């Protein structure tokens, strides 16, 4: 398995090479700490998504993990094209796409208000000091980002000439399979790499 650049991936895809591996894109919300309003409804959100009451003192944080906004590479992801079943089967939230470092439990994933959303349940210091540290840092706005790792099932090249002049091979991703989402993520918004076998050129 290897990481290849976005440019190499798009060049190979342009030649009709099979799409293999995992694409990663990050989502960065407005900077700053998590507001009280954002936390006010997390217990009700947990009940709505699970049908159960959260544990007393549960460390819950809501996240927007993707949208249809055009990113810095000129790409878009269609919200209605997400297949969430693979991730929902395990629903573990990782740290920085490191499978050796689970950081929280994912509570469902759903589309609402033009966003792909999820809810993270972090661990207290007695279970995982690292998870608790990430929760506290996320609360304060120090680690606000999230990142999705997914497989591309179907896409089309952007036809707008102005966008093609501005970006390198912008694509509209029509169908995708969510493999993982990670929180927090040490990267700037809207970057991705490809993890997996390089497409055959």
pLDDT of 136 > 80? The answer is yes
Distance CA 17, CA 9 (A): 9
What residues does each domain of the chain span?
2-45+59-189
Distance CA 73, CA 167 (A): 6
Measured in degrees and rounded to the nearest 5, phi and psi for residue 63 equal -135, 140
- Beta-strand pair 115-122/98-112: antiparallel
pTM (2 d.p.): 0.86
Partnered with residue 77 across adjacent β-strands are: 173
Measured in degrees and rounded to the nearest 5, phi and psi for residue 143 equal -135, 75
Which is more confident, 117 or 185?
117
| Short-list 66, 68, 50, CA closest to 58 | 50
pLDDT of 22 > 70? The answer is yes
Q: Please, what is the average pLDDT of the chain? A: 84
pLDDT digits (tens, 9 = 90+) for 48-81: 999 999 999 999 999 889 999 998 889 999 999 9
Query: Who's near 192: CB < 8 A, 6+ residues apart?
Result: 6, 23, 24, 25, 26, 73
pLDDT digits (tens, 9 = 90+) for 172-190: 999 999 999 998 665 443 4
Average pLDDT value for residue range 8-32: 76
Confidence of residue 192 (pLDDT cuts 50, 70, 90): very low
- Beta-strand pair 82-83/171-182: parallel
pLDDT of 109 > 60? The answer is yes
């Amino acid at each position: 398995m290897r990481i290849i650049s976005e440019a190499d991936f798009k060049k190979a895809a342009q030649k009709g090479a099979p799409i293999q591996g995992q694409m990663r894109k990050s989502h960065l919300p407005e900077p700053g700490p998590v507001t009280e309003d954002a936390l006010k409804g997390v217990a009700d959100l947990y009940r709505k998504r699970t049908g159960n009451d959260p544990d007393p003192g549960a460390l819950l944080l809501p996240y927007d993990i993707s949208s249809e906004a055009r990113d810095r590479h000129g790409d878009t992801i269609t919200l209605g094209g997400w297949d969430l079943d693979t991730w929902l089967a395990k629903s573990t939230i990782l740290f920085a796409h490191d499978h050796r470092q689970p950081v929280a439990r994912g509570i469902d994933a759903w589309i609402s208000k033009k966003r792909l959303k999820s809810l993270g349940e972090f661990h207290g210091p007695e279970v995982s000091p690292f998870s608790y540290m990430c929760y506290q840092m996320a609360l304060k706005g120090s680690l606000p980002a999230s990142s999705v790792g997914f497989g591309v099932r179907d896409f089309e090249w952007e036809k707008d000439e102005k966008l093609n002049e501005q970006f390198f091979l912008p694509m509209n991703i029509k169908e995708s399979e969510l493999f993982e989402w990670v929180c927090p993520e040490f990267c700037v918004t809207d970057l991705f790499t490809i993890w997996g076998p390089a497409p055959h050129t």
